[in-house]
Amino acid sequence: MAVVPVGGPVDLAGSLDVFRRSGDDLLDRWDGRLWLRALAVDGRMVGTAARPAGTVADPALLVAAEAGADADAAGRLLAGAFPTAPDALAELAAADPVVARIAARFPGIGPVLQPDLLTAVVRAISAQQITLRFAAVLRGRLVRRYGHRHQVPVPRGVWTASSTPPDRGLPSRSGAPETRGRGDFLSAGPVEGEVWSLDAGRLAAAAVDDLRELQFSNAKAVAVIAFAGAVAAGRVDLPTLARLDDDEVVERLVAFPGIGRWTAEWLLARTLGRPRVVAGDLGVRKAVGAAYLDGRMPSEAEVRAVTGHWGPAAGVAQQLLLHWLSTEAPGRGGPRRPAAATGSRSATRPGRSSRPG
């Protein structure tokens, strides 16, 4: 097992919760304590298991990898999935009270990058025009038929409340706890975890009817198979895309069937880690409308105008709003807040004051 530092501030558990909310697709698996992901290490796909440790200011991952793999190398790749922009976010928060209030409510929440290009594209295509949970079901079916299963030893005895103040009795980056501390100290649970990875060659050889049997639409089946074929043949790869500017990446990706501008922008934001707002995405539009426009659904152009000042903090700010939308925004996808006491009213969006009267 490796103890791998993560550049903070990051709320690891809170950021990873996006995978629990969207459903278990067997590719990125998070149950609130354990993260399972397969990723390329030294030229082969390796199953990994990680538990958050440390604090928001000083986070770390306790990482195990499948037999024969380098857990330290895998852990460094996992740690790189949490981009931060603390200076840019602080500057934005100083100028934008909406972002300031959400960032204060959810410190350390940010995007989790998916470094595997095929997985990222399949995730984006599968989620087009259907619920996120059904999209996860489709991906699970797909990877069971056209993927590889990885068995991973599970790190045990780990403190998982990364946003809780540290306790001397809890594990730090340097090793095991001296004594048991307060909180959720895990010493039980499964000793192995299961995670899957897609095989580009096998998926490229699939027939459209095969994916239709899995309940992919005809258009999505064509798109997934075509992109898998390009990956398998080396016609598209992440290092090449990473050398291009944003517009060139979009131009290259939209040449593939089933990939439009919004899908390409999600690849910019959540695979390449660029500060890109996916202004046409329904969830982003809802979040911006709930936060800035009293719940009114904005157009793509309005979202671009409203968020144009986000600058280099755009990736983190976008994820903060989406997280807030899914957990607390009243009437916009998250649970309503408790009713206010008599004689006062609660804020209905982060830009409003919660003072009485």
Sign of the CA dihedral running 94, 98, 99, 103: positive
**H or E stretch at 194:** strand 192-198
**Amino acid at position 240, single letter:** T
What's the rounded mean pLDDT across residues 32-57?
96
What is the pTM (predicted TM-score) of this model?
0.83
Amino acid 83 reads P
Q: How far is CA 149 from CA 37, 66, 179, 225, 260, in A?
A: 11, 11, 37, 20, 31
How confident is the model over 9-30, as a mean pLDDT?
A: 96
The reported pLDDT for the residue numbered 185 is: 37
Mean pLDDT of 226-245: 97
The CA-based dihedral angle spanning residues 271, 272, 278, 280, taken in that order and rounded to the nearest 10 degrees = -70
What pLDDT does residue 329 have?
Answer: 67
Give me the DSSP letters along 126-193. HTTTS-HHHHHHHHHHHHHHHEEEEEEEPP-SEE--TTSPP-TTS-BTTB--SS--SS-EE--S-SEE
Asked whether the predicted pLDDT for residue 340 surpasses 60, the reply is: no
- The mean predicted confidence, pLDDT, of the chain is 86
What pLDDT does residue 156 have? 67
The rounded distance, in Å, linking the Cα atoms of 125 and 31 is: 24
Query: Given a cut of 90, is residue 292 above it in pLDDT?
Result: yes
Name the residue with higher pLDDT: 185 or 126: 126
- Residue 335's pLDDT is 37
Q: What are phi and psi of 186, to 5 degrees?
A: -90, 115
Average of pLDDT values for 185-205?
79
Residue-wise pLDDT for 137-175, tens only, equals 999 999 999 999 999 998 765 443 333 333 333 233 333
Residue 76: the pLDDT is 97
Segment 171-186 mean pLDDT: 34
Predicted confidence (pLDDT) per residue in 100-118, tens digit: 999 999 999 999 999 999 9
Q: What's the pLDDT at 100?
A: 98
